[in-house]
Structure 1
Amino acid sequence: MFLLFGLFSCDRSRIFEEYRALDSKTWNVQDTISFEFPYPIEDGETILGIRYNQDYEYRNLYVRYFLKDSLGNNIENQLLEIPLFESTSGKPIGKGYGSTFTKYDTIPLVTQEKFHSIQFLQYMRIDDLVGIEAVGVKKVKR
């Protein structure tokens, strides 16, 4: 029975996945959240994961990402809008239990260049975003 559970819990499409927990479940405007990939990393979809709770006061989250090559040069950056709560009902969007939820969103990469790292900044024009517990990124095979 235990082995069967282990087989179903494996995700063979995952190339990379990592999360960074935020102190006090708050994302400060000056906090850069960075992830470094093993280089070179396989091609695939890049997915942003936002773990949040019901203390988050807004419907959406604006995040800017920066892709960097192996020398640390910026090769792409873009502003993303991530909806976290339904606009009509106010229900959380994403998977979760209790008061914590995770919303996954594919990052629409423009570049075809290989990148070595990705950085995220919150762009909500608020110093401290309460209710953001963690930010993660995963790379999956197409």
Structure 2
Amino acid sequence: MKCSKIIIFALLTCCWACGPNHVYEAMHKFEDQQWQDQDAPVFDFSIADPAETYDVTCLIRNTLEYPKHNIYLTYTLEDSTGQVLDSELLKKDLFDATTGRPLGKGMGDIYDHEFALKTDFRFPHRGGYRLKLQQFVRNEGTSLPNIVAVGVRVLKKEK
């Protein structure tokens, strides 16, 4: 029964992700569910129509054993020449700080979160872009445990 729920969930996710407004989506999985301090996943994508507006979203997948209620991360958005278009440090909650209840959407002990990085954003020109994510959680050791993967989604806004 649990396997069939996972298969149905995966099929629905695939169908949703392949819609006409879907521009790009990718996930970076971490070895042993450990996001190392020096690991900064990079996501390269192309924009065909700079006249359109887009939403850029950060995706985080964690386990219930994640040791904190929030995560600090930075993102850097660059164009194909390396010019930084935007960079920001973000604090996002993965669990309710009071109750400890996991936020996001989950199945079993894995939870997915979506956080807007840019909304109604216009890329300045057609071509390639790069978005880099890096964690900045103060943690003993050199890694952030129980982070399964991080990713990026770019969607064209509906008119």
TM-score, normalising length from structure 1? 0.85
RMSD: 2.3
| Pairing 1:47–2:53 present | no
CA distance in 1, matches of 2:96, 2:35: 21
Maintained 8 Å contact 1:29/1:125: no
8 Å contact 1:40–1:116 — kept in the other structure?
A: no
Q: How does 1:67-82 map to 2 (within 5 A)?
A: 67-82=77-92
Partner SS for 1:38: strand
1:112 Cα deviation from its structure 2 partner = 4.5
Between the aligned residues of both structures, percent identity stands at 27
- Kindly report which structure 2 residues correspond to 1:1-142, keeping only aligned pairs within 5 A, or say none: 9-11=15-17, 12=19, 13-40=21-48, 43-108=53-118, 112-114=122-124, 116-126=129-139, 127-142=142-157
Count of residue pairs the alignment pairs up: 137
Deviation at 1:75, TM superposition (A): 2.2
Is the partner of 1:71 in helix, strand or coil? coil
Distance 2:137 2:74 in 1: 10
Please give the TM-score of this superposition, normalised by the length of structure 2.
Answer: 0.77
Which ranges in structure 2 are unaligned for 5 or more consecutive residues? 1-10
CA distance in 1, matches of 2:48, 2:81: 13
Instruction: Give the deviation of 1:109 after TM superposition.
Output: 6.1
* CA-CA distance at 1:54 after TM superposition: 1.4
User: Higher helix proportion, which one?
Assistant: 2
Segments of 5+ residues of structure 1 without an aligned counterpart are: none
Equivalent-residue separation in structure 2 for 1:39 and 1:141 (angstroms): 10
State the AA in 2 paired with 1:36: D
Q: Which amino acid aligns with 1:103?
A: H
